[in-house]
Amino acid sequence: MPRPWIAYVFVGAIQEQDRPPNFREAEWVEATINGTHFWERATKLDEAWLRQDLQQALDRDRSMVDSPDLSRVKRIQAVVRRQGRYIALLDGDWQFKSLVDRYELLDRSAPEIAELVGA
């Protein structure tokens, strides 16, 4: 099962194990869940914050607009050209549709790719 990497990036951006650097009480709350103590960002999260702090997870080089008009080969080529393990497939409005494990796709498609390149 693929790791939900965007969730790990998100939680890492809003939670700290230790008291955060440049601590301001209005921005952080102290919490304990199931014996685990942590600090969590208490300020309102907006689009600007998400784009700034989650830039890696929202990187458009790790996503592609999918279309039913794309052939299987074109879709594989587009995913393979991206960087990172997980590639987000988006609809025409850049809304999330699904997540592709690029490494798994490469393993599964290796014979087909080899045939295409004449190897």
> Model-level pTM?
0.49
Q: Are strands 63-65 and 36-41 parallel, antiparallel or unpaired?
A: unpaired
Superfamily of domain 60-119: CBS-domain (3.10.580.10)
Q: Are strands 86-90 and 28-33 parallel, antiparallel or unpaired?
A: unpaired
**What beta strand segments (E) does the chain contain?**
15-16, 28-33, 36-41, 63-65, 86-90, 96-101
pLDDT reading at 4 higher than 60? no
Structure confidence by residue, pLDDT tens digits, 67-81: 999 998 898 889 988
Structure confidence by residue, pLDDT tens digits, 47-59: 676 666 666 555 6
Structure confidence by residue, pLDDT tens digits, 20-41: 777 776 788 888 888 988 888 7
Tokens 């969590």 correspond to 40
Structure confidence by residue, pLDDT tens digits, 72-114: 889 888 998 898 888 888 888 877 788 888 999 989 888 887 8
96-101: strand order across its sheet: 63-65, 86-90, 96-101
Tokens coding 65: 């607009």
Give the side-chain half-sphere CA count within 13 A for 21.
1
Residue range(s) occupied by CATH 3.10.580.10 in the chain: 60-119
